[in-house]
Each structure stands twice: as structure tokens, then as C-alpha cells.
């Protein structure tokens, strides 16, 4: 066991047994005498990796049969363009809910391709909350509505999936995918970069309802066209093999060690509660997001004094609690408690906070 707990928002911690297995079979994968990094992506061995990865994702997330799953490159950020290029085909209009920097980047990228509208925003209070969303706020003519389910930087999350009527809902789930069960059938399209909660950078997963395919704009690049990836089973070009392989190991761990997404959700809720309870009891630290909208995955907090924050970050790093610096848009600290963060990591963090608080309060 390593004695470092990595609270980074991404790339993030991986489960220990996954890393151990990657190491053990790095030079000889499935008795091929080759590394998984060297395998032909047209080989039968590789095909079985792709098939198992998709089957496990479908089963864990209960993805309905009329949805396609793609394994792409380009990060979640490429989806900011791919979504409008493929989905803005009828009215040329789309609604975005601005709940943070990623949602805003998606909105700005959408504006290159059509008429985008901020249906709601929480920019007025530095994205510390999720704006209320009744069905009337959405344009029934829009080609889609885009939301960011979990706001990695600000530590908020949608507790309920908004009702957009017949307008397809698009969800960026980069920092919450596989953290809890999610009703895929409520969405037209979901996407997530892998490096936060299901693997390593280089892989982006897209889950899309089949009826939304096949209507990309004429000038849509082939690599950005979902239909082309559908026609080629995510192998129109060389897929990000190593990243897909790591994701497969994470999916096996989720099913065999954790016992599925219901169990994962209980564990994640318990981990978040340990930290939020500490924050709410503390007279030094406080959380920055509104209580009702708090994320289970990313927890920003501060002492309100940047010098003290820096001192705490140094003490935490000394105790093996690393990458706790907050994003510059919020400041202070941010603890990312993705699936691979063990409960002990959070317990160590709150211990460190309590110790720091005692020390600081005595000094005063």
C-alpha cells in the first residue's frame, strides 16, 4: 500500500488493485508475449477487451439497448464542439445551464455553431449553487439542453435531472460518472473524460440515444461525427487502447470488489458526509458551496484567510495528503473524493483538519 492520498480533481487516484494489475501484466498481456500497449487494435485479443469494456459499462450503468457507447479521444472538451456539430440540426438553437467553468466553456463552444442561450446561471454567486429549473425555463424549440451534472471546480451537483420535455438533455458527467446510479434514459447524450472517475486521460466515453445519430452538419469533421464512430465500433482510427484497458480494470473492480453502483453510492455518500460534518462543525474551515447542492465528489473549502490556507496545505502534504489546493477560481482547498479514494483517506484528512484547527486556535 502507498501512504499517499491524492485528492486531485483529475487526473485522479486509481484503485490500488488496478495499478497492481497494470504493473503485473505490463509486458505480457493475456499470454500474448506483448504489452497491451503493443497489441494490434484489429487483433482478437484487443477486440475482446473492447467488447468486455462496453458490456461492463452497459451493465453497471444499465444503459438501454437503444443507446450507443463510444470510446473516443479528445477529452470531454472535444465534446463541447461535437455535441453542437451533431445535434444542432433542426432549429440551430440550444439551451445551456451555466453552473461553472466547464458548463460555460461548453456554451461558448456551442456559440460557434448556432444560437445558444443561457437558460439559467449561477454566475451571480460564483457558481456556489445549482439554479432552480422548472420546465418553463427551457425553449421547446431548442435542439438540446446542456447541463454539467457535477461541477468539479465549485463542488456542486444536480440532485435531480431537469425535465426538458421532448428536448434531448445532454449531460457532462466527467466528474461523477460511475459514482452512483444514473437514469440514462432521461438523457439524449452523456459524456465524460475518463481521468476523473474511471481511468486515465486520453479516453472520453459518449453514450448517445440512437435516434440522435446521423444528422451531423455537412462540415462536421469525420473524427467529430458520431455516426462514423457508430459505423466503426469506435475504431474508425486507432482507439486509445491503453486508456480503454485501464478503464476495463476499473469497471471490473467496481463490479467485483465494490459490488456495483448502489454500493459505490453508499460509500461515496459516507465519505462526503465525514468531510462535510467536519466542515459544518469547524470554527475555522467552511465549505464554499450551498449545502443543498453539495457534490459528493469535489469538496471546496477554505479558512477565509489565504495565508492560513497555504499553511494548512503544507501540513496536509506533510501528512501525505496531496493535491488539496483549490482551483484558482475558488481559492482555498478542494478535496476530490472520487471512487478510488478510500474512506481512510477522508478520515486522515479530517484528522489533519482537526489538528490544524486546535493548533491555530491555541496560537490565537
Active-site residue set: 102, 172, 196
Contact 189, 85 (CB under 8 A): no
- Shortest approach of ligand PLP to residue 249 CB, angstroms? 19
Q: Beta-carbon neighbour count of residue 28 at 10 Å?
A: 12
- Shortest approach of ligand PLP to residue 191 CB, angstroms? 9
From the list 232, 222, 223, 199, the residue with the least C-alpha distance to 41 is: 232
Q: Quick one: 196 or 294, whose CB is closer to ligand PLP?
A: 196
Q: Quick one: 80 or 113, whose CB is closer to ligand PLP?
A: 80
- Interaction of residue 193 with ligand PLP, rule CB under 6 A: yes
The region of 17-25, 124-132, 172-180, 322-330 touching ligand PLP under the rule CB under 6 A is 172-180
The region of 38-46, 120-128, 171-179, 229-237 touching ligand PLP under the rule CB under 6 A is 171-179
* Count of helices and strands (H, E) across the chain: 9, 14
Span 69-88, contacts to ligand PLP by CB under 6 A: 75-77
CA dihedral 294, 318, 343, 336 (to 10 degrees): 30
- Interaction of residue 11 with ligand PLP, rule CB under 6 A: no
- Interaction of residue 199 with ligand PLP, rule CB under 6 A: no
Radius of gyration of the chain (CA): 21
- Shortest approach of ligand PLP to residue 103 CB, angstroms? 8
Listing DSSP states for 89-124 in one string gives -SS-EEEEEE-SHHHHHHHHHHTTTSEEEEEEE-GG
The rounded distance, in Å, linking the Cα atoms of 51 and 283 is: 52
Q: Beta-carbon neighbour count of residue 142 at 10 Å?
A: 26
Q: Please give the DSSP secondary-structure letter assigned to residue 325.
A: B
- Shortest approach of ligand PLP to residue 204 CB, angstroms? 6
Span 131-160, contacts to ligand PLP by CB under 6 A: 148, 152
- Interaction of residue 174 with ligand PLP, rule CB under 6 A: yes
The rounded distance, in Å, linking the Cα atoms of 43 and 101 is: 41
- Interaction of residue 102 with ligand PLP, rule CB under 6 A: yes
- Interaction of residue 10 with ligand PLP, rule CB under 6 A: yes
Q: Quick one: 39 or 180, whose CB is closer to ligand PLP?
A: 180
- Shortest approach of ligand PLP to residue 234 CB, angstroms? 17
Write out the three cell numbers for 212. 440522435
Q: Quick one: 6 or 303, whose CB is closer to ligand PLP?
A: 6
Size of the site for ligand PLP (CB under 6 A): 12
- Shortest approach of ligand PLP to residue 300 CB, angstroms? 13
CA dihedral 116, 122, 124, 128 (to 10 degrees): -150
The rounded distance, in Å, linking the Cα atoms of 21 and 36 is: 12
Contact positions vs ligand PLP (CB under 6 A) = 10, 75-77, 102, 148, 152, 172, 174-175, 193, 196
Amino acid at each position: 500500500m502507498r501512504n499517499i492520498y491524492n485528492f486531485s480533481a483529475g487526473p485522479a487516484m486509481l484503485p490500488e488493485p488496478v495499478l497492481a494489475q497494470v504493473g503485473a501484466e505490463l509486458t505480457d498481456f493475456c499470454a500474448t508475449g506483448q504489452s497491451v500497449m503493443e497489441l494490434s487494435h484489429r487483433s482478437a485479443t484487443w477486440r475482446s477487451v473492447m467488447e468486455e469494456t462496453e458490456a461492463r459499462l452497459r451493465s453497471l450503468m444499465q444503459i438501454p439497448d437503444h443507446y450507443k457507447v463510444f470510446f473516443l479521444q479528445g477529452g470531454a472538451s472535444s465534446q463541447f464542439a461535437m455535441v453542437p456539430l451533431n445535434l444542432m440540426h433542426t432549429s440551430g438553437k440550444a439551451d445551456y445551464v451555466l453552473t461553472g467553468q466547464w458548463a460555460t466553456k461548453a456554451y461558448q463552444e456551442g456559440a460557434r455553431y448556432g444560437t445558444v442561450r443561457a437558460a439559467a446561471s449561477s454566475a451571480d454567486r460564483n457558481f456556489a449553487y445549482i439554479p432552480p429549473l422548472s420546465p418553463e425555463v427551457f425553449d421547446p424549440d431548442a435542439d438540446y439542453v446542456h447541463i454539467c451534472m457535477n461541477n468539479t471546480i465549485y463542488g456542486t451537483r444536480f440532485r435531480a435531472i431537469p425535465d426538458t420535455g421532448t428536448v434531448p438533455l445532454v449531460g457532462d458527467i466527467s466528474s461523477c460518472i460511475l459514482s452512483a446510479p444514473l437514469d440514462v434514459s432521461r438523457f439524449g447524450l452523456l459524456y465524460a473524460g475518463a481521468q476523473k472517475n474511471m481511468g486515465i486521460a486520453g479516453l472520453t466515453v459518449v453514450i448517445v440515444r440512437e435516434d440522435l445519430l446521423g444528422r451531423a452538419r455537412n462540415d462536421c469533421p469525420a473524427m467529430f461525427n458520431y455516426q462514423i464512430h457508430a459505423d466503426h465500433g469506435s475504431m474508425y482510427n486507432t482507439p486509445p487502447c491503453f486508456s480503454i484497458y485501464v478503464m476495463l480494470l476499473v469497471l471490473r473492480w467496481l463490479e467485483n470488489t465494490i459490488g456495483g453502483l448502489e454500493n459505490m453510492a453508499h460509500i461515496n455518500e459516507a465519505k462526503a458526509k465525514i468531510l462535510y460534518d467536519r466542515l459544518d462543525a469547524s470554527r475555522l474551515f467552511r465549505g464554499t458551496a450551498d449545502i443543498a447542492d453539495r457534490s459528493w465528489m469535489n469538496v471546496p473549502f477554505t479558512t477565509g484567510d489565504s495565508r492560513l490556507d497555504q499553511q494548512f496545505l503544507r501540513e496536509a502534504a506533510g501528512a501525505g495528503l496531496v493535491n488539496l489546493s483549490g482551483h484558482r477560481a475558488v481559492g482555498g482547498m478542494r478535496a476530490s473524493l472520487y471512487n478510488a479514494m478510500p474512506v481512510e483517506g477522508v478520515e486522515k484528512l479530517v484528522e489533519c483538519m482537526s489538528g490544524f484547527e486546535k493548533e491555530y486556535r491555541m496560537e490565537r
